[in-house]
Structure 1
Amino acid sequence: MSESGDVPGTLDAMRRLWTPAWIVRHVAMVVLVVGFLGLGWWQVSRAAAGNSLSWGYAVEWPIFAGFVVYIWWREVKLARRRAAEADAPPEETVVEPASEVTTGSRPAVRRPVRVSRVPATGDVVEDTDLAAYNHYLSWLNANPGARPGDYPG
């Protein structure tokens, strides 16, 4: 390792990606990509032999391989960003004295506004279909062994 710390573009910057867990991820990515591309080639050979449905699968498998590479690359970037944030010195925060805060300033975080729910006023029109269905459900609940054809309504 270098004495000056991590230098971008060197292997020192990638040392966190060579832990046992990351090695398993790298191997899994390579195995999945090779497997998906192999399955895509297999589907191309089946499609060339006359199986027209295999053309769709021949396109699908390389897309899966690309997705695996995308997820792997995103995780590598995220791990490197977290490592850079962990290695960075903490930022110094400046605390303003309470006497300098103006009285008219608003807080940065406010409580959510609560809205009371008021029931609708006016005449409520009852839905006859809904009332009949609710009556049917209450009858079924009162008669658990009954069949739908036994309903008297």
Structure 2
Amino acid sequence: MKRLWTPAWIARHVAMVVLVVGFLALGWWQISRAASGNTLSWAYAVEWPIFAGFVVFVWWREVRHTLRGPAATAPEAATGAGGTPDPAVRGVRRPVRVTRVPVAADTTDDADLTEYNRYLTWLNANPGARPGDYPG
């Protein structure tokens, strides 16, 4: 629980309270405007409390994430039985098997086009790979 009382978290708590109170006050102000005849204000009267609810939702999600702590992101939590990577754990990538593809001789004089075609050939030969995995 001490993790939620650091200076950064105190600022987050204060920001959450200020935003929620402000959004609810704006919603109340829109209700008073709508009651005086401004029909568009009825939509805003509903919208501001939804914004306040969203702020509470994000704050609560961040509190839960902080209280879970680093155990959920530790390397030993990312492995399953036998030390194999568990794909159910977020952030764990399966290894990509890279296949070397020989490039046919290209008759074009454009070096950039040749390199781009080599890159596309490699991507086609390695369907599970990401563009950042390209060895060239």
Q: Does 1:109 align with 2:95?
A: yes
Q: Distance in 2 between matches of 1:59 and 1:41?
A: 10
Q: 1:39 aligns to what? A: 26
Bigger Cα Rg: 1
Matched ranges for 1:1-153 at <5 A: 14-83=1-70, 85=71, 109-111=95-97, 114=122, 115=124
Per the TM alignment, residue 36 of structure 1 is displaced from its structure 2 partner at its CA by 0.1
Per the TM alignment, residue 111 of structure 1 is displaced from its structure 2 partner at its CA by 2.0
Per the TM alignment, residue 82 of structure 1 is displaced from its structure 2 partner at its CA by 1.9
Deviations along 1:103-142, one digit per CA (max 9) or x if unpaired, are xxxxx633257426xxxxxxxxxxxxxxxxxxxxxxxxxx
CA, structure 1 residues 111+20, in 2 after alignment: closer, same or farther (shift >3 Å)? same
Q: TM-score, normalised by structure 2?
A: 0.56
The one-letter code of the counterpart of 1:109 is: P
More helix per residue: 1 or 2?
A: 2
Q: TM-score, normalised by structure 1?
A: 0.50
Q: Distance in 1 between matches of 2:18 and 2:33?
A: 22
SS in 2 for 1:50: coil
SS in 1 for 2:97: coil
Which blocks of at least 5 consecutive residues in structure 1 are unaligned? 1-13, 96-107, 117-153
Deviations along 1:17-72, one digit per CA (max 9) or x if unpaired, are 00010000000000000000000000001001110010010000000000000000
> RMSD of aligned C-alpha atoms?
2.8
**In the comparison of the two structures, how many residue pairs are matched?**
88
CA, structure 1 residues 58+112, in 2 after alignment: closer, same or farther (shift >3 Å)? farther
